A = this chain, B = another copy of it.
Amino acid sequence: MSVLKYIGRRNPAVEKTLSRLLPRGMEPRVLARASRHLLEAGGKRLRPCLTLACCEVVGGRAEGALETAAAFELLHTFSLIHDDIMDHADLRRGVKTVHRLWGEPMAILAGDALFAKVFEALSLNVSRVGLESGRAAKLFWIVSRASFELSRGQALDMLFSKRLGLREEEYVEMVALKTGALMQASASAGALLGGGTPSQVERLGEYGKNLGIAFQIQDDILGLVGEKGELGKPVGSDLLEGKRTLVVSLALQILRGEEKKKLLGVLGNPAASREEVEEVVSLLRERGVLERTRERALKFSGRARKLLRGFRESEALSFLEELTEFVIERRV
């Protein structure tokens, strides 16, 4: 069973839950529209499916984790809206960003409103399934912790983009917070709701974290070599914004002399031309930087895969297994 098939089968229930949490009629309407904008623009709903699959893989029913699954999409979307403001991004998922359409104040609020809904969703889930008190507190702890880590990761990202060099460990620390923490929480919350043992919850969380790191490394690569139409944002924008991705970190170690100069000429330089960017991307390919970056993605994806050993075979397990390949093979 393929990753997209599992997602396709689970998504209708996730979408329905999202709509119930964020009804169109919400007042004021502008806040409702701004909050729903990116959610409606697409997205693979990877995090909700991660929650549902981890719930199933420990023996639970996916249905019992629906609101929590949806909560992770809300949390993810909230962070995208705020990140886009901070990065002055114009496009996301192929549409204009929230702050470009409604201005920064409304975009800040739209994010805050989604963030609030995250915890409302959890409490609805807890009430509906009558989750035992200890597990309920743990669930809220997992999600609030991840939200906090998300802010820490984004703060590190901002700090790092002011420095030239970035050690690989620093990069990993940053993306473990920025992307890993949310996937870790999505996975462990699912396991928790499915009735998993503490060690299963922990193990699936570690799986999610490694998956997230691999996912982010692939994202960095796609930001350079992806297709604009598919990616939903301009190719090379990470370079022009001066983001310290793993590609950049490795490139600064590998490139020398003139070649390094060319990289530095476009890094954090929004005025760099399309041709200059393309020249740098070719360089990164020729000097093996992209290959080395890809090896790192493979490493984390492999770790994630190993953490799945010992779980009983099921469709949910196949999904989680294939997901470790999907995140590093995807083109969008």
Contact = CB atoms under 8 A, between A and B. Distances in A.
A324 interface: no
B140 A126 contact: yes
Contact of A126 (B28, B137, B143, B145): B137
A271 interface: no
A30 interface: yes
Contacts of A122: 140, 144
Contacts of A137: 123, 126-127, 131, 136
A86 interface: yes
Interface of A: 26-28, 30-31, 82, 85-86, 104-106, 108-113, 115-120, 122-124, 126-127, 130-134, 136-138, 140-141, 143-145, 147-148, 150-152, 154-156, 158-159
A143 B124 CA distance: 13
Contacts of A133: 126, 130-133, 136
Contact of A109 (B105, B136, B154): B154
Given A28-B159, A117-B148, A119-B143, A108 B136 contact: no
A113 B144 CA distance: 9
B158 A144 contact: no
Contacts of A108: 82, 85-86, 108
Q: Is the interface of A mostly helix, strand, loop or mixed?
A: helix
A201 to B, nearest CB: 15
Contacts of A82: 108-109, 112
A147 B28 contact: no
B112 A152 contact: no
A123 B106 contact: no
A158 B115 contact: no
Counting every copy of the chain, the complex holds 2
A144 B130 contact: no
Contact of A152 (B106, B113, B132, B140): B113
Nearest to A75: B116
Count chain B CB atoms within 10 A of each CB in A31, A132, A148 and give the residue with the most: A148
A151 B119 contact: no
Contacts of A118: 144
A242 B105 CA distance: 16
A136 B147 contact: no
A117 B143 CA distance: 10
A145 B120 contact: yes
A155 B145 CA distance: 27
Nearest to A117: B148
A123 B141 contact: yes
Contacts of A124: 141
A144 B120 contact: yes
B123 A140 contact: yes
Contact of A155 (B28, B116, B123, B132): B28
Contact of A112 (B113, B115, B130, B141): B115
Contacts of A159: 28, 30
Nearest to A133: B133
B31 A152 contact: yes
